[in-house]
Chain A
Amino acid sequence: DTEVTQTPKHLVMGMTNKKSLKCEQHMGHRAMYWYKQKAKKPPELMFVYSYEKLSINESVPSRFSPECPNSSLLNLHLHALQPEDSALYLCASSQGWTSGKLTDTQYFGPGTRLTVL
């Protein structure tokens, strides 16, 4: 099973709301990723978790807060977002991420379409 699941599929929130995005995989992968994708643009990396530890933060604003409670689960907590944060948020996983080397296939979830009003 090469499936990464994401919930919810769609989310509409106001700028003062707090919400969370959830990502789950059961492939035994030890690396998990959050990406942001704007319309007609390629995905942009936000965070990398390796063995449940944050390995990369691509200078993402603190209103985005990632969390990796266990090796199968990845959350993205959202607070005080801006309308320009509206985008498709993609989660991905891969077998590993060793010493910064991405040598394995990344598997992506279907994404959460976020709209900030």
Chain B
Amino acid sequence: KQEVTQIPAALSVPEGENLVLNCSFTDSAIYNLQWFRQDPGKGLTSLLLIQSSQREQTSGRLNASLDKSSGRSTLYIAASQPGDSATYLCAVSGTASKLTFGTGTRLQVTL
């Protein structure tokens, strides 16, 4: 059974700092990995999707990497802003025919 873990569970950084969120998964037989952000009480916003054959994807200040063999992904956020404050979720798609979500990292960017 696929298990997805995110570390740290919570993170507080000052504005302008670069930061890395981590995601690890136990079964490397995945089709893709997706990063989402969720604001309190809201739906999920897709940030990046990395197919299993890819190593990284970039969108603006966000860069996600994938090391399938070691079961790890990182989300790098450059020059963080207060508007980046949210919960970040990674999710893997694999042979279970569904997305398996991580436990999330709650990020707060302070002024």
Chain B contacts for A100, CB-based, 8 A = 95, 97
Contact with A along B87-108 (1 / 0, CB 8 A): 0010101010111011110000
In the bound complex, do residue A42 and residue B31 qualify as a contact, i.e. CB atoms below 8 Å apart?
A: no
Interface size class of B (residues with CB under 8 A): 20 to 34
A111 in contact with B97 given A105-B34, A105-B49 (CB within 8 Å): no
Q: Is the CB of B98 within 8 A of A103?
A: no
Choose, from B40-48, B62-70, B77-85, the stretch at the interface: B40-48
B32 interface residue, CB < 8 Å from A? yes
Q: Does A48 contact B44, Cβ atoms closer than 8 Å?
A: no
Chain B residues 39-61 with CB under 8 Å of chain A are 41-46, 49, 51
Interface size on A, residues (CB 8 A): 26
**Residues of the B chain whose Cβ atoms lie less than 8 Å from the Cβ of A4:** 43
Across the interface, do A103 and B93 meet the contact criterion of CB distance under 8 Å? yes
Q: A43-B44, A111-B42, A111-B43 are in contact. Are A106 and B99 (CB under 8 A)?
A: yes
Residue in A6, A42, A45, A90 whose CB lies within 8 Å of B98: A45
Cα–Cα distance between A52 and B16 once the two chains are bound (Å): 46
Give, as a whole number of angstroms, the nearest-CB distance from A93 to chain B.
11
Which 10 pairs show the lowest CB-CB distances between chains A and B?
A: A42-B101, A100-B97, A102-B93, A108-B44, A108-B43, A110-B43, A105-B49, A111-B43, A45-B98, A103-B31
